[in-house]
Amino acid sequence: MKAEIHALLQQALEALANDGILEANAELNIPVERGRDDSHGDFASPIALALARSARCNPRQLAEQIVERLPSSSVIGKTEIAGPGFINFTIQNGAYQSLASEILQADTRYGTSTLGEKQRIQVEFVSANPTGPLHVGHGRGAAYGAVVANLLRATGHEVESEYYVNDAGRQMDILAASVWLRYLQRCSETLTFPANGYRGAYIQTIADELHNQHGEAFRQPAKRVLKDLPADEPDGGDKETYIDSVIERARKLLGERSYRLIHGYVLAALVEEIRDDLLDFGIGFEQWYSERSLMDSGAVTTVIERLRDAGHLYEREGALWFRSTEFDDEKDRVVVRENGQTTYFASDIAYHLDKFERGFTRVIDVWGADHHGYVPRVRAALQALQADPDRLDVLLVQFANLYRGGEKVPMSTRSGEFVTLRQLREDVGRDAARFFYVMRKSDQHLDFDLDLAKAESNENPVYYIQYAHARIASVMRQTKEKGFRWQSADSFDVTGELVEDHELVLLRRLSRYPEVVEAAALSYEPHQLAYYLRELANDFHTYYNAHIFLVDAAPLRNARLGLINATRIVLRNGLTLLGVSAPDTM
């Protein structure tokens, strides 16, 4: 309908141009909006306001001239000029009458579109370091990324979701060493745990499993492990230096093969846990991409060579630097360290180049907002490699703070003090967690009120929407019990029955759904859909309270059942996109 009005206005403006009243302007963007207020009709365009100046006449007069030249249409019931020069359009009732049956026929397809024209888009999200279970901070990125991917799919994009596994860095070494030390303790060796080691209970669990599978194959006497190590932090030393020397000692005593085995074992255990966590959260990935594979394949060194050949690298203080300042970064960045190791950034350049080379028309990264300073250097690298940085969209997600009993819940990964995603799910349930995560704009801090999410009351917005769905399912059960029969085709020919204000409001709302999905997808803003569903549920509840659906007159009854089933479909489709279930009973 919006497109129809757009086309009508376009024709009217062309006619005005032919009459010499307006200058012809093919590229003119004609705004068509939903009216904010019902008294403003269904759609409105401020086009006359926008053009008044160049046409040298007052907006209302111009609006009149536009309206005079509007071609006739079966969709438009009424046009009127209001306020300073808005053109308001009211859609003919008939145009809405067929909507319910259209939705019933389209069913799961209602709201989907071919807007994306099969563009291939990659959405990379979560990508948390596999150094422990996912916590609630990761949960938001997970929920957000998954819904963005869903929205893009619904609008006809070909989407591939991916998790980038940081399995090559120092953190992984610290992790492997931590597990090994716990394993040694399990073997009854006595040693104090490093200040900078990973302390979570899951470390001990993995160490125990390692012990079960491999016995004491990796046991070394504590004395040899600790011999001549520098002082740890509690003894006045530096914890970073200490942990590095522990890692070095582990490599030496175990030998590269055994060390790799433990490293790989720990990695696999954690990745598996993360994957299971996400699956239980309703999120699956098409691709798990290993950072180490980029190193093993030589992709990282290749990309460094390419940068060097293009003259973007230089040496300073023993390290190799990328001159990212040439591409608007704040400072140059190291790609190869003094010790010869490539940096995480070097991997990331290779990774992003690889994404582009895999043929995606667009690449989306969902990152925690604390990484925002990282964006310019990645774009800089892409530019330096002659790749178009505009094909990369980095979506930043602010942190979520948990509140319990009005108090902020403190969190820190290293200390092992954090609420895991699993705990959150067990605490408030998957639906509430998924909904709460995406109901705020992603660049807004999220105050996640655990008590509220758990509340089985009207304070909880998730239940409000689900309840509307359950109510409709209940009405359908009642329909059967009362001996009425209904199938969707029964509602196709009787839609002229829907004349109540509440019904028209609901129909109007349902007609907006595809626009909402489209807007939410293109702006990567799931919260728009969340708000829409709340409003739709509200319209339904109001209707429910105002009218009985199961009346004796079959045509009216069938029309109403058609309408509420259309509502059920939209509620379900929308909730599904958000990763929230649509229950039949509550």
Partner RNA sequence: GCGCCCGUAGCUCAGCUGGAUAGAGCAUCGGCCUUCUAAGCCGGCGGUCGCAGGUUCGAGUCCUGCCGGGCGCGCCA
In the window 483-512, what residues touch RNA (CB under 7 A)?
A: none
Residue with tokens 């509602």: 491
Q: Tell me which stretch binds RNA (CB under 7 A): 180-188, 313-321, 485-493, 572-580.
A: 313-321
Binding to RNA in span 228-257, by CB under 7 A: 240
CB of 104 to RNA, least distance (A): 18
What the block records as the tokens of 342 is 């490539």
Tokens of 485: 């029969």
Is 553 a binding residue for RNA by CB under 7 A? The answer is no
CB of 473 to RNA, least distance (A): 6
Q: 452 Cβ partners below 8 Å, 6+ apart?
A: 459, 460
Q: In the window 363-382, what residues touch RNA (CB under 7 A)?
A: 369-374
Taking CB under 7 A as the binding criterion, the range among 99-107, 260-268, 299-307, 530-538 that sits at the site for RNA is: 530-538
Q: Copy the structure tokens of residue 244.
A: 């590095």
3-state helix vs strand vs coil in the chain, percent to 5: 55, 15, 30
Which of positions 555-584 make contact with RNA (CB under 7 A)?
Answer: 584
Tokens representing 327 are 């591409």
Whole-angstrom CA distances from 20 to 9, 23, 56, 69, 70 are 17, 7, 12, 13, 16
Answer yes or no whether residue 97 interacts with RNA by CB under 7 A: no
Estimate to the nearest angstrom the gap between the alpha carbon of 127 and the chain centroid.
13
Binding mask 154-173 for RNA (x = CB under 7 A): ------------x-xxxx--
**One of 444, 493, 499, 553 touching RNA (CB under 7 A):** 444
Residue of 160, 273, 277, 291 interacting with RNA (CB under 7 A)? 291
If the CB atoms of residues 383 and 474 are measured against RNA, the closer one turns out to be 474
Phi, psi torsion values for 284, nearest 5 degrees: -120, 155
Q: Could you give the CA distance from residue 72 to residue 30 in angstroms, rounded to a whole number?
A: 19
Inter-residue contact 139 to 283 (CB < 8 Å): no
Query: Which is nearer to RNA, 213 or 585 (by Cβ)?
Result: 585
Instruction: Locate 449 and state its tokens.
Output: 């009120």
Copy the structure tokens of residue 330. 């704040």
Report the residue from 386, 458, 485, 552 that binds RNA according to the rule CB under 7 A: 458
In 3-state terms, what secondary structure has residue 297? coil
Please state the length of the chain. 586
- Residue among 426, 443, 451, 500 that touches RNA (CB under 7 A): 443
Helix (H) or strand (E) holding 341: none
Choice between 169 and 191, CB closer to RNA: 169
Out of 74, 114, 190, 585, which residue is the one contacting RNA (CB under 7 A)?
585
Q: Site for RNA (CB under 7 A): which residue of 28, 55, 191, 519?
A: 519
State the nearest-atom distance from the C-beta of 337 to RNA, in Å: 3
Q: How far apart are CA 539 and CA 506, in angstroms?
A: 6
Is 114 a residue that touches RNA (CB under 7 A)? no
Q: In degrees rounded to 5, what are phi and psi of residue 397?
A: -115, 125
DSSP 581: -
**Nearest-approach distance from CB 245 to RNA, in angstroms:** 15
Q: Are 384 and 413 in contact (CB under 8 A)?
A: no
Binding residues for RNA restricted to 72-91, rule: CB under 7 A? 82-84, 86, 88
Instruction: Check residue 412 for interaction with RNA (CB under 7 A).
Output: no
Show the binding pattern over residues 315-354: x = contacts RNA (CB under 7 A), - = does not.
-xxxx----------xx-xx--xxx-x-xxx---------
Neighbours of 550 (CB within 10 A): 14
Close Cβ partners of 46 (under 8 Å, ≥ 6 residues apart): 31, 33, 85, 86
**Could you tell me the smallest distance in angstroms from the CB atom of residue 290 to RNA?**
12
Q: Which one of 206-214, 231-239, 438-446, 490-498 is the stretch in contact with RNA (CB under 7 A)?
A: 438-446
Does 397 engage in binding with RNA (CB under 7 A)?
Answer: no
Listed residue (297, 351, 296, 348) closest to 322, CA to CA: 348
**Cβ nearer to RNA, comparing 46 with 189:** 46
Q: Which of 292, 275, 286 is nearest to 134 (CA)?
A: 275
Q: Which is nearer to RNA, 225 or 439 (CB)?
A: 439
**Is 190 one of the binding residues for RNA (CB under 7 A)?**
no
Count of positions on this chain that bind RNA (CB under 7 A): 94
Comparing CB distances to RNA, the nearer of 421 and 468 is: 468
Look up tokens 């819904």; give the residue: 147
Binding mask 33-72 for RNA (x = CB under 7 A): xxxxx-xx---x-x--xx-xx-----x-------------
Query: Least distance (Å) from RNA to the CB of residue 255?
Result: 23
3-state secondary structure 77-137: EEEEEECCCEEEEEECHHHHHCHHHHHHHHHHHCCCCCCCCCCEEEEECCCCCCCCCCEHH
Out of 441, 454, 492, 555, the only residue in the binding site for RNA (CB under 7 A) is 441
Segment interacting with RNA (CB under 7 A) among 99-107, 260-268, 414-422, 442-450: 442-450
Site membership for RNA, residue 135 (CB under 7 A):
no
